Amino acid sequence: MKNFITLQDLVDPKKTIALAKSCKQDPFTHRHLGQRKTIGLLFFNPSLRTRLSTQKAARNLGLDVMVMNFSNEAWAIEYEDETIMSGLRSEHVKEAAQVVSQYCDFVAIRAFASLTDKKRDEEEQVLRKFAEFAAVPIINMESATAHPLQALADGLTILEQVTIKKPKIVLSWAPHPKALPHAVANSFIGLMNHSNADFVITHPEGYDLNPAIVGNHKVSYNQEEALAGADVVYVKNWCSYTDYGAILRTDNEWMMTADKMKHTNEAFFMHCLPVRRNVVASDGVLDHPKSLVIEQANNRTFAAQAVLQEFLTHG
């Protein structure tokens, strides 16, 4: 694996999830594997889970960790080729990526979507440009269109908790006051491509995700119908893809509530966090014993550890 930018970079996501499970059973089996190696974590956006779990995963493997917040600590980076850098951007990615490669054996990057320029977001300019000029592997800690470490953690959580052979898994849109990217939903769909679940995506009209990512998966504009008999309900907000970046509705009709969960087969509730209580999901859903949100966050460590272990073992 040259870089880890989407789930498609993995030979087999199911094997990586199985490896994550074994990392969880004994996180320190390979505590010397990363000795004398360093990972750099570059954050262009905020984080709680990704930042701490990736550091923990790296340390479990004996890696040194360097963390930098590019939003307020580094020079502003220019990504365009053959540009005259007379504006606010002081450093070109061409130098930055090569310099960071001298200090690090792996570079993990978080760079969210702009939600203003669909073409540029879909080109994954930040990660792809770093990958072009870096001499070391680039790892995605949530980019414009993908959050594969989250999807692997979600896959591990489902593997651990859901014993039904062919579960019904529902990905439901929920309201949010801010325009949020599609990365988590996209990567969860990517995970479902490797599952034998009865998978349904439900959202209001106007919130259709990228059709190239949705593929042939079932889509319903009727949340109640979609929830009927569900074994797992994964809730996430995203902004409009067609009217790129727009918030089309602000009512709370699609918030996940305990009453709606009654339509399910006593489903597990999942969300990647952070979550806005009583906006995205009610207290009753989040505090219910079937809520897996804390375990999903726990599994972020072992998902990251499995990916790093694959790089350290196979290059």
Q: How far is the CB of 50 from ligand CP (least distance, A)?
A: 3
Of 47 and 220, CB closest to ligand CP: 47
226 makes contact with ligand CP (CB under 6 A): no
Angstrom CA distances, 262 to 80, 106, 265, 266, stand at: 51, 45, 8, 7
Of 5 and 272, CB closest to ligand CP: 272
Pattern 143-172, ligand CP, x by CB under 6 A: -------x----------------------
Of 17 and 272, CB closest to ligand CP: 272
69 makes contact with ligand CP (CB under 6 A): no
Q: Are 303 and 20 in contact (CB under 8 A)?
A: yes
142 makes contact with ligand CP (CB under 6 A): yes
At 214, which helix (H) or strand (E)?
A: helix 211-214
For the CA atoms of 47, 48, 51, 53, the dihedral, rounded to the nearest 10 degrees, stands at: -140
**Distance between CA atoms of 281 and 115, rounded to whole angstroms?**
24
Q: Out of 30, 49, 92, 129, which residue is the one contacting ligand CP (CB under 6 A)?
A: 49
Angle at 280 between CA 274 and CA 283, to 5 degrees: 85
Of the candidates 241, 130, 253, 137, which has an alpha carbon nearest to the alpha carbon of residue 183?
241
Pattern 272-291, ligand CP, x by CB under 6 A: xxx-----------------
209 contacts: CB under 8 Å, gap ≥ 6: 182, 185, 186, 189, 201, 203, 238, 241
Residue with tokens 């804390």: 294
Of 137 and 181, CB closest to ligand CP: 181
Q: How far is the CB of 36 from ligand CP (least distance, A)?
A: 28
Q: How far is the CB of 154 from ligand CP (least distance, A)?
A: 10
Dihedral sign for Cα 15, 20, 21, 26, please: positive
Query: Which listed range, 209-217, 239-247, 269-277, 286-294, lies at the site for ligand CP (CB under 6 A)?
Result: 269-277
> Which residues from 180-219 bind ligand CP, rule CB under 6 A?
none
Rounded to the nearest 5 percent, the helix, strand and coil shares of the chain are 35, 15, 45
**Distance between CA atoms of 120 and 115, rounded to whole angstroms?**
9
Of 47 and 69, CB closest to ligand CP: 47
Pattern 83-122, ligand CP, x by CB under 6 A: ----------------------------------------
Q: How far is the CB of 195 from ligand CP (least distance, A)?
A: 20
Q: Which residues bind ligand CP (CB under 6 A)?
A: 47-50, 142, 150, 272-274
